[in-house]
Amino acid sequence: MNKVRDLLKYLSGQLHKMSESSMLLILALITGLLSGLAAVILKHLIHLCAQMLKGWFDTTAESFLYIIYPGIGMLLALIFVKYFIKDNIGHGVTKVLLAISKNDSKIATHNTWSSVAASSVTIGFGGSVGAEAPIVYTGAAIGSNIAKVMGLSYKHMTILLGCGAAGAIAGIFKAPLAGILFTLEILLFNMSMTSLIPLLVSAVTAATVSFLFLGEAVVFSNSIQNFNMSNIPFYIVLGVFCGFLSLYFTRTTLSLEDKIKKIINPFKRWIISALSLGFLIFLFPPLFGEGYESLTFLLNGNVSSAIGPNLFSGFLENQWFILVFFSAIIFFKVLAMSFTNAGGGIGGTFGPTLFIGGVAGFVLSRFINLTGIIGIEVLPESNFALVGMAGLMAGVMQAPLTAIFLIAEITGGYILLMPLIITSVVAFAVTRTFEPYSIYTKRIAKDGELLTHDSDQAVLTLLKTSDLIEVDFKSVSPEGTLADVVKVISSTKRNLIPVVDSAGVLRGVILLNDIREIMFNKEVYETTSVQRLMKEVPDTVYSDDKMDLVMRKFEKTGAWNLPVITHDGLYKGFVSKSKIFSAYRDQLQQVSHE
């Protein structure tokens, strides 16, 4: 152990001798390497669990185990997180956003492996969630902790955190471009072109690792056909369909999870969620796990294999029943995902987004084909399934570029680039009309903790009121006199004096300009009371107020200083415009990454 520590110390010393840019590139390469390995390990663990549990299923009889399996995986994850990790590691992408805005891009060390362990049993046992959010959290944690060990600044720690996230997506999907776009579009970094180079290095490194261990084949093999220009109107319709489905996806997920989590006892939550999830998967086997196997069958036109062994085999000769079956899967997948996460499982919404999008594309094209509204021509259902994956991702994540190029990379579907663009843009536009935030940002935007591409808003989000409180103001008692006020003035450089009673409650302020005419008249020192001199403060600030709220208070009152109090009314100090402007300027340099 001592030798390892000495080696790390030596390597750290050598890196610090390099230029800043060279050191960052090497650390980005290391981050990409480790993120790629983490992605490979997670995929193998999920596959291993799933094969052990259901690889031998070949009839409907064995599917009764679908009722039990997911609950076991959720329970294992719940116990692991509650009693061993003792930290909330769910909703990984949202946690990364919060780390950037609230915690100086620092992520706990255990997140470099805990999300992998918890999500592998959750998904491997059938939890109806995706592995992408946990691996993004893992990759971001790897980058953050490497930066922490190296003693890097917030700016470089944020870049390495982004490198880890980009590497994680690139590794799990073998899609380096998608990894970079995901980081820029969803994690909302304001990066210069120079800062993009480490992202490129990390993403390409992670994708290379994934290719070495997982092979060069695309993630989703398919039998798509060439793009037909005459189908453009239907891809527009698919975009509208995906847009409204995105609203259902986002709002139902957040609402249902919040309702379930109101059940205080975690094991009671687990029982309710596990039974509900098991029942849904028993009825609709494609809901088991990520659902990528069924999705791949749809992309290859193999509908019967996509359905798998189930209770409704006698009805599957009816094409309209198949349409109803997959329509139900769209509806219930959102519920299954919410039950998994709320019941103690660890997973993300990324995978379900791809799955529901693919099924939605199939359902729409199958419906059009069955109704015959386009005459003798038949829409290519595999094409629409592939494009639907991008459409729903663009709507739910509000990241059209990531959606377009991720689907093109993981399917090799560049021949469908035009419909991918059309559907994604339409879905994004429809969703954005009714919902300004993505599923990752809706909750934290409500709390005022969301970073955006707007540098001004990003800086205000990063500034913390508690860090800007000035406490070098000398106070006087409301029972005092002008003599006490003059004594304070002689020992302070401030031009205002807080009036604080014996209980520590702020009663008002005295402004130097207001007493200038009488402060040198000793005859009134003892006869002029503090209560006569003081005035009410124009507004107050709480130490946990968001900075944009503080700035609105300054704008409304026209004040240069505002007092900071606790929620019990106790005086803590003042916050000033000059202090905020100075901190703003310093933080802007960090956010801009120049």
Same domain, yes or no: 441 and 532: no
Residue 26, classed as helix, strand or coil, is helix
Statement to judge: residues 535 and 411 lie in one domain: no
Query: 141 lies in which domain range?
Result: 2-214
- The single-letter code of the amino acid at 548 is D
Judge if 304 and 389 occupy the same domain.
yes
Amino acid at site 371: T
In a domain, 311, yes or no: yes
| pLDDT, position 4 | 47
Residue 224 lies in a domain: no
Report field, pTM of the whole predicted structure over 0.85: no
Q: Going residue by residue through the chain (594 aa), what tens digit of pLDDT does each one get?
A: 456 456 556 666 777 677 777 888 999 999 999 999 999 999 999 988 888 887 665 655 556 777 888 999 999 999 999 999 998 888 888 888 888 877 778 899 999 999 999 999 999 999 999 999 999 999 999 999 999 888 888 788 889 999 999 999 999 999 999 999 999 888 865 666 667 899 999 999 999 999 999 988 888 888 888 999 989 999 999 999 999 999 999 999 999 999 998 999 999 999 999 999 999 998 898 999 898 999 999 999 898 888 877 777 767 778 888 999 999 999 999 999 999 999 999 998 999 999 999 999 999 999 999 887 766 568 999 999 999 999 999 999 999 999 999 999 999 888 999 999 999 999 999 999 999 888 888 877 776 655 555 455 555 566 777 788 888 888 888 888 888 888 888 887 787 888 888 888 888 888 888 787 787 788 787 878 878 888 888 888 888 888 778 888 888 888 888 888 888 888 888 888 877 777 766 666 655 544
Burial status of residue 539 (CB atoms within 10 A of its CB: 0-12, 13-18, 19 or more): middle
Domain final residue pick, 423, 453, 483 = 453
Question: 138 and 21 share a domain?
Answer: yes
CA dihedral 306→311→317→321, nearest 10 degrees, is -80
Residues 508 and 532 in one domain: yes
- Residue 91 inside a domain? The answer is yes
**Quick one: 485 and 514 in the same domain?**
yes
Please indicate, yes or no, whether residues 467 and 519 belong to a single structural domain of this protein: yes
Which of 453, 481, 515 lies at the terminal end of a domain, its last residue? 453
Q: Both 278 and 203 in a single domain?
A: no
**Residue 269: both structure tokens together:** 């939550």
- Asked if residue 178 and residue 258 are part of one domain, the reply reads no
What would the DSSP string read from start to end of 296-355?
HHHHTT-HHHHH-S-TTGGGTTSHHHHHHHHHHHHHHHHHHHHHHHHTT---BSHHHHHH
What angle do helix axes 154-173 and 92-102 make, rounded to 10 degrees?
Answer: 170
Residue 140 has what pLDDT? 95
Residue 516 lies in a domain: yes
Count of structural domains, the chain: 3
Where among 399, 426, 453 does a domain terminate? 453
Shared domain check, 169 and 283: no
Amino acid residing at 362: F
Q: If we measure between CA atoms, which residue out of 363, 365, 356 comes closest to residue 391?
A: 356
CATH number assigned to the domain comprising residue 164: 1.10.3080.10
Calpha distance 168→48 (Å, rounded): 20
- Examine the domain organization and report whether 63 and 208 are in the same domain: yes
Distances (CA, A) of 147 to 114, 169, 462, 580: 19, 20, 19, 28
Give the model's pLDDT for residue 180: 92
Specify if 219 maps to a domain. Answer: no
Question: Does the residue 220 lie in any domain?
Answer: no
**Rounded distance, CA 181 to CA 406, Å?**
9
| 504, 416: one domain | no
Tokens of 545: 């107020």
Inside any domain, residue 580: yes
Among the listed residues 529, 398, 428, 518, the one whose alpha carbon sits nearest the alpha carbon of residue 93 = 398
pLDDT of residue 449: 58
